[in-house]
Chains A and B, each alone.
Chain A
Amino acid sequence: MTLWQIISIFLIFGGAFFISVGSIGLIRLPDFYSRCHATGKADTLGLLLVIAGLIVYEGFSLHSAKLLIILIFVGLTSPTATHALARAAFRFGIKPRFKKPATTREKT
């Protein structure tokens, strides 16, 4: 096992970790906008890390160039799609969830 394979194993493990964090945030967070935050950033970072690990494993060839194209495309479009969905939800009239003020908490 060479050094490049060890680097790619670390990158792919990091990507799988971030994808798991994004998925857990998708079901644990209480609000639609916070769910957008979880899946828009953590999931994209995990996907980019996995593709970067595959580029390191592949080396310098045509396939790694195609993988680089996929990496740039996903890094541009995945946050764009999440942003469009969040803007549509805001215009649809979904209210964000705010913390209750401290005065009402003291009353109860």
Chain B
Amino acid sequence: MKRGTYQTNARVAASKGVAFSKSPVLAVRLPDWRSRLVLVVLFSAFAALGIRALWLQGVSNQFLQKQGKSRYERTLELPATRGKIMDRNGQVLASSLPVKAVWAIPDDVLASPPAKITELARLLEMPEVELRKKLDSDRTFVYLKRQVEMDVIAQIEKLKIDGIDTRKEYKRFYPQGEVMTHLVGFTSVEDVGQESIELAQQKALVGAVGSRRVIKDRLGHIVEDVGQSREPHDGRDITLSVDSKLQYIAFTSVKNAVEKFHAKAGAAVVLDVHTGEVLALANWPTYDPNDRSKLTGEQLRNRVITDTFEPGSTLKPFTVALALDTRRVTPSTLFDTGNGRIQIGDKIVRDTHPHGVIDVSTIIQKSSNIGVSKMALAMPAEEMWNMFTKVGFGQAPRYGFPGAVAGRVRPYKSWRPIEQANMSFGQGISVSLLQLAHSYLIFARDGDIIPLSFQKVTQKPVGQQVISAKTAAQMRAMLETVVLPGGTAVQAQVPGYRVGGKTGTAQKLVNGRYSQTHYVGNFAGMAPMSNPRFVIAVMIDDPTGAIHTGGGVAAPTFAALAANALRAENVPPDSSITDIIIPENSLEESN
């Protein structure tokens, strides 16, 4: 009890002073608005949260939905394969296969053990120094190598290097390589056509990339398609008119000729007489489209289509055909070619040999410049110009082939007599080899010309009559005499078959003047003569050996090409002469 008393006393002592309820500080009465303000502020904060929530949920919800979707939805790109290019028999000339590009995050890769990097360099077939140089970069994304084939990728993935990743892409393969490349062309690493058909048909070949939107689960499986998907459309396959076998024959013939005659270049083209299809188009020098690291412009040049040259005597048949067709002459009309020299204006036209008085047929056979000049000068310039234009010279070509040139035929109004004479034997006028071959269709066919095609033709083409069928038959007979003994191109003979054609030798223009040492030898002809199937044109550029004439270099090339082509296509022989002994030195032609 005593203790309790003490406690009571202590409590009284503690509360001594001012009583709680009477504290003057607390006695101050706060204004009412302050508590209300707090209330309002608190409520408006809640209201703001509520409105914000409503806003996000109801009104402006796209952003969050998009963010949400991006966490489980993925857009997959559906690649479209580039179309294949095939020859007329369905053999693949160009095809795309999936490969992968190897890329890296440099910092991550450099952190991995050096042995692995050495191994990676070996797999990528590049020196380690080069690989390290590529990795020594500030960027976070570096392509190490593109278009790596799948089996190599599998090995790289086995190495499990951090920061190495791959990206799917396509690589174009050209199984026929250098043989076919001037026709097919090639694509860049981005799958864009760069040359020839690959470039011309880029739109059709490329196709359309598709896409689909999907939901992926935790393991990366596709669970569901959402939204719209766009189907990918693969590029269209293109069937060319070219025949792989004929192409190979043409290619080897040209290649052998260039080597044999020490020429700078050579080219040949084979056309189908009935359809106007380009069956072969060969060039030498050439390149391998699968490995273009050492590509030069010289190799890239498509001499059949993009180069023009002055064809020389190969153009004589057109002047003669015109004269025949307009009934100014007949094959037996006589012309006096005199002693092999004739003055026209202030210039002199020469024949290599004096031929005296000869008929029209012999003018073609012996390739007399004087004879054909006399024939040309008896005709108005306009008619000759019309003839050249109708067979396609100087006309913008419509083959759908990039880089095709028109050649040059000057307007007839400015022709002087000497120029008209020159043009009659193929000087002062330039054509491409393809144009030359195309124009010879009028002789191989019954006087009409049909359009050329690089793609397989299914419909019979409609021809445009240039000369009468009778004239064409007369011309064929004359062209056949050219390869017979006494003609300028005996080396063009083919055992077992009747062939015909015309040689041409043009002096090259060097610094604007006709060179006396650089020539282009060419030959345009057809086979077999009884029912022409092919028109073949051959051009040998700058042969530096002892022989340089069209009859000497281009005619034997034509013969080799035609013999193999006729055999390959199972054309029945139309001649009983199967053994031909060709004299080493055939008659030299003029021009």
**A, B bound:** no
